[in-house]
Amino acid sequence: MGEPAPPASFGRLERMVLAAVAALLALALFWLRGGLHPEAALERLARQSPELSVALADGRPTLVEFYADWCEACRAMAPAMESMERRHQGELDVVLLNVDNPRWQPQIDSYAVNGIPHLELFDRGGQRLGQVIGARTGDELESLSSALVAGSPLPLLAGSAPTSALEGESSAPQAIPIAPRSHG
């Protein structure tokens, strides 16, 4: 007679071990990718942000934030930005442009971004109205967004400036020499 047949439970035991190893690997991968931590407000805003060219052409006023993932002021301001964006959904476009993404270098140069957070403000026709440099409170963001939506003059805030073309210059965005190099 030959070798005795392995018990039927051997195949079942092997499948259970493989399933347990697979489950442990899946759990480890889940934990390494952040687990159940909710996505941060800054990442949510950036992911939902419309394209700048679309926002400037759709007939709604636009608020553009130049930011960076590593910027603590940008991260601290993000929940207020998200709240403001929700309050004015459908009335105002909120566009986020990451200064670390080379795709946005022409806009960074054009708007003379040299400190973040840096906000650029546009009317319904896509015309640049002004800029605001540095972190803003929820009340300041609400004041800015409400003025944009209503077509009212922008509030005067520290670190803000209206834009105007100098005689003989084109209507291209103007550099305002008040921009600080710090995070305001």
Strands (E), 99-141: 118-122, 128-133
Q: Which of 71, 132, 133, 141 is catalytic?
A: 71
Known catalytic residue at 17: no
17 C-beta neighbours (distance < 10 Å), count: 10
Contact 134, 183 (CB under 8 A): yes
Known catalytic residue at 74: yes
Q: Report DSSP state, residue 113.
A: -
Contact 100, 130 (CB under 8 A): no
Q: Which of 74, 78, 113, 119 is catalytic?
A: 74
- Beta bridge partners of residue 128, listed in sequence order: 122
Contact 133, 67 (CB under 8 A): no
- Beta bridge partners of residue 97, listed in sequence order: 66
Q: Which residues are catalytic?
A: 71, 74
